[in-house]
Amino acid sequence: MTSDNKNLSALNEHFKQWQKIAERLRVQFAPALKVQEALQKSLEPIITAQKRLSEFVESIKVPRLELPELSYFAKQAAEFQKSLNGLISPAFEQLQKSFSELPSRTQEALLLLGANGWYLDLEMPLPALWELERALTGGNIEEAEEALVAYFEDRLDQIEKAISDRFPHRAHLIKAAFGAHRRQEYELSIPVLLAQTDGICKEVVNQYLFMKRNRKPRTASYVEQVAADTYRAALLSPLAQPLPISASENERPEGFDALNRHTVLHGESLDYGYKNNSLKAVSLINYVAHVLEVDKETP
């Protein structure tokens, strides 16, 4: 499989997760549906017999006979179907609601991650993203940070290979940055990762991520082009909003200590060299390399 196809598969995986939810729901109710089908089939001969007997009684002109036991079975079948529909319909209505809310919830989660310096890995399952969102919203920042550090550390080799395969002409620089990270030389890994992130962005969509126009990243104009596709726009939303990584001097409040491209590359920050910051830079270059490339290759 080519790296292009792998990238497309990663994006499709997000949609497949919701398809799997629908499939699990279908499987969950399959036994009940089979019972309903079997009951309906078992009642068919009885209902047919009742109909024929009624027709016979009518034909010989005698008072119509009521068959309570047969009417009872038919009534029970109708009640069973009604109760089953009442059980299944709300479940599928909830599933449909979840689908409709997916873009806005995804955007909120990704912007919340970005506000804390982290970016989505397309291999990350949606339930994990929701858990991170809950932790950050609830103020459990340390818990979320630990989970993200462990996640990206575990994915380090795969991420390096995926970016190098996608951009082989940058592979030597990617290798150097990831090597520095593994050697705990974070003062070296972070600037290279940030510079390559900007270079990849310019290469793929002809816009620099860290440059702004009207106080928004220049990549915002690119995201606006896919705004009609709400899920894709949500996935790209961190590229359209001002976040700490690209905050200008005027946008950085007093005491600002988040990872910031300008302060690192222009030598203003002297204490950025931490493992967490290096992994944040890894998450950013991984996000930009794959989300933009996926979007570019999607018809």
Structure tokens at 129: 């993203």
Q: Return the DSSP state at 226.
A: T
**Which 3 state secondary structure label does DSSP give 216?**
strand
pLDDT at residue 8 in the model: 43
Q: Which of 111, 131, 43 is nearest to 81 (CA)?
A: 43
Q: Which range has the worst mean pLDDT, 17-26, 127-136, 208-217?
A: 17-26
* CA–CA separation, 95 and 291 (whole Å): 26
Question: Is the pLDDT score of 299 beyond 50?
Answer: no
Q: What's the whole-number average pLDDT of the chain?
A: 75
pLDDT (tens digit, 9 = 90+) per residue, 40-58?
566 566 566 656 656 655 5
DSSP 249: G
CA 139 to chain CA mean position, Å: 22
3-class SS shares of the chain: helix, strand, coil, % to 5 = 75, 0, 25
High-pLDDT (> 90) share of the chain, %:
37
**What is the tens place of the pLDDT at every residue in 206-227?**
877 766 666 665 666 566 665 5
> Does residue 273 register a pLDDT over 60?
yes
Report pLDDT digits (tens) over 248-264.
888 888 889 999 988 99
